[in-house]
Amino acid sequence: MVVSPIETRYRTEMNALFEENARIGSWMEVEVALARAHAKLGDMPSAAAEEIAAGAKKVELARVNEIEAEIHHDLMAMVKALAEKCPKYGGYVHLGATSYDIEDTAMGLTMKRAIGKIRERLLATKALLRKHAIERKKLVCVGRTHGQHAVPTTYGMKFAIWYKEMDRHLMRLNKSEEMISVGKMAGATGTMATFGGKGRKLQKMVMDGLGLKGAEVSNQVVQRDRHAQVVFTLALIAASLEKIA
């Protein structure tokens, strides 16, 4: 059932990152990285990690949804579906992890990719604004102050103001990407106790494999101030675009 116009009429390349298949796929990326790290640390046979990696390519969304309807747990539905595709080593899937080790790390992956797409568009917008600022630097227009006409200005100046605004947004976006490109592998309460003294090493190996940084400290989740910073940055960008429009 379609519940939002952005699901159909206003779709962009961004939608592909947040669809159900992509969500489940990013969870399995983390599960595979976890298995490979465990194998390197000697916690499971290397063959188990390879079977999990191969099994992740065979899991179908329909089967995950079918299991979720039975157990009412989205992440564990994926774990069970993945284990089904690993007949020999399925018991090693999700070893030592808690649900949000997987979900929050996958969210870090998704947000990093999404910010990459936004950066591409922002750079293109910035380049266009620069072009107009240069081409229209002598094109006179009415200035405004207090909601009324003021002394003349130029369109070039207007575009230059917007150009510098985009420049600042890019700096904010880069900082937000750094802040959100984080995952965790720390267990249900963040103590790493389920990893038998190897938690710090395991977390670093998993995050290195995914191109993320490990949270220095976490509880059940990666702390949400990181996500809030991204939302606020996107809101500022949207406000500027609305102003230009």
For the chain, 245 residues long, give each residue's pLDDT as a single digit of tens.
556 666 677 788 898 999 999 999 999 999 999 999 999 999 999 999 999 999 999 999 999 999 999 999 999 999 999 999 999 999 999 999 999 999 999 999 999 999 999 999 999 999 999 999 999 999 999 999 998 999 999 999 999 999 999 999 999 999 999 999 999 999 999 999 999 999 999 999 999 999 999 999 999 999 999 999 999 999 999 999 999 99
Which tokens sit at 243?
A: 């102003």
Q: What is the pTM of this model?
A: 0.92
The H or E element spanning position 152 is strand 148-154
Inter-residue contact 29 to 210 (CB < 8 Å): yes
In angstroms, rounded to a whole number, what is the distance separating the alpha carbons of residues 61 and 32?
17
What angle, rounded to 10 degrees, do the helices at 199-210 and 20-40 form? 130
Which tokens sit at 208?
A: 């290195």
Ranges of CATH 1.20.200.10 domains, the chain = 97-245
Q: Environment class of residue 50 by beta-carbon count within 10 Å: exposed (0-12), middle (13-18) or buried (19+)?
A: middle
User: Where does 97-245 sit in CATH, by number?
Assistant: 1.20.200.10
Out of 1.10.275.10, 3.30.830.10, 3.40.50.1450, 2.60.120.260, the CATH code matching 1-95 is 1.10.275.10
In angstroms, rounded to a whole number, what is the distance separating the alpha carbons of residues 80 and 27?
13
In terms of DSSP bridges, do strands 148-154 and 140-145 run parallel, antiparallel, or are they unpaired?
antiparallel
What angle, rounded to 10 degrees, do the helices at 20-40 and 61-71 form? 90
Ranges of CATH 1.10.275.10 domains, the chain = 1-95
Query: Hey, how many other C-beta atoms are within 10 angstroms of the C-beta on 137?
Result: 13
